[in-house]
Chains A and B, each alone.
Chain A
Amino acid sequence: MLDIREENIMQVIAIILVLMSLGTTIVPVGAAVYICRDDLSTLFVPPEVQQIIEGDISFFFADNSTDMDLSSFIMPTYVSSTVDEQTKTFTVTVNFTNPLNYDLTLNAINADALNQEGDELATIQLSAPVTILSGNTQLVTVSGQWNQTAEDYFNNQTDPDFTNITLSNIVIDVNGIIISNDQSITLEGELR
């Protein structure tokens, strides 16, 4: 049997444990509520998410620009190209700009070049992954190899150009975000 003194000790311990359990929750939550007392919505929503909800994503961009233009990344600018007829290979160098405040890695660019009849003329791929540092512009070279069908196609044309060529099966992989375009893109402008 427990004596009265021991029972009292047990009751005190039980009360202390309950109070401490409550305290470990109430104190931090109370502190957070006190810190956010001016605007309680900030208790639940991080300031960055609040900014995104308000349409401000400038903190994602390298120069905190309000002009959030991703098109420079999506639409690279043509720089130069080379052709090696002996090995039936070519390279196209384009400029990619990374407007984000975060380094991006172009893991892959793949596409097939087709003629109007849908015959495959060449395959295009990125030779190696390229990292484009935050806020920087980087030259990216894609290489390709054409086949006999391509040679026959251009030899049979009196004034061959590339405007009738379409790019199909386009796959772009940026940091594991893989965009596959199901629709073919017709090349505009000559690349002779």
Chain B
Amino acid sequence: MIKINHLALAAATAILLLIVASIYVPWWTLVIGNPQLGIASFSPLNLNFQLLGITMTTPLIWALNTSTLLTLLLGSLVLLFYGVKPDKPYSPKLLSFGYKIPLYAVTLFIVEIVGLVAVAKMALGVDFPLMGSAAISFPSSIAPAGATGSIYVAAAFEWPFYLAIAVVVLCVAARFYHKKTVPATINH
């Protein structure tokens, strides 16, 4: 009987879907203004900031996004290869490599977003919401004389973020399913 790790195949396919989705839809957005004056779109694969219609991207961020995209693609291909040959002696190595990549991507993303919001609060005194909307007061130093100002912001996690979490769950499940699929003698 041919052994196949179906969960690994599903995880590999889901990673490919996640890659395609993340190119077009960010994982988290912060909309500034109503109607919007600026928008910050974050995902490990695509990070950009738009202010008054001008998109601002740094080449280094672009490079890191591309790196994440390629790493996820590599993880997906490795899992795909492992999924159809889970009982080969080298398969645990492939699984061990592949299943962790989405986990790293999601963990890093959460750390970055939470860190960014915390840094904004500590350095600028600006309390951006992670989810939901808020009116953020201008620091008194930049408010017009005799006036107080605030700006409407709205933040939301978009559906690819939840897809990414589902992908991580699938990858971890594939790791545990490996023990059922393959005899313990070649489990590493």
A and B associate: yes
Interface set of A (CB-CB < 8 Å, partner B):
2, 6, 9-10, 13-14, 17, 20-21, 23-25, 27-29, 31-32, 35-36, 42-46, 48-49, 59-60, 100-103, 105, 107, 175-183
In contact, A13 and B93 (Cβ under 8 angstroms): yes
In the assembled complex, the Cα of A50 lies from the Cα of B129 at a distance in Å of 28
Within 8 A of A (CB), among B128-175: 135, 144, 146-153
In contact, B52 and A101 (Cβ under 8 angstroms): yes
Return chain A residues, CB-CB under 8 Å to B57. 46
Return chain B residues, CB-CB under 8 Å to A27. 70
Within 8 A of A (CB), among B83-121: 89-90, 93-94, 97
- B18 lies within 8 A of chain A by Cβ: no
Q: Output the nearest chain A residue to B143 by Cβ-Cβ distance.
A: A179
Stretch at the interface among B8-16, B22-30, B32-40, B176-184: B32-40
Chain B interface SS verdict (over half): mixed
In contact, B37 and A44 (Cβ under 8 angstroms): no
Return chain B residues, CB-CB under 8 Å to A9. 89-90
In contact, B78 and A17 (Cβ under 8 angstroms): yes
Q: Output the nearest chain A residue to B58 by Cβ-Cβ distance.
A: A46
Enumerate 17 A-B pairs (CB-CB under 8 Å) in ascending A order. A9-B90, A10-B89, A13-B90, A28-B62, A28-B64, A28-B66, A31-B63, A32-B60, A32-B63, A36-B59, A46-B58, A48-B54, A59-B54, A102-B37, A176-B34, A178-B150, A179-B144
Return chain B residues, CB-CB under 8 Å to A183. 146-147
Return chain A residues, CB-CB under 8 Å to B89. 2, 6, 9-10
- B74 lies within 8 A of chain A by Cβ: yes
Q: Output the nearest chain B residue to A20 by Cβ-Cβ distance.
A: B74
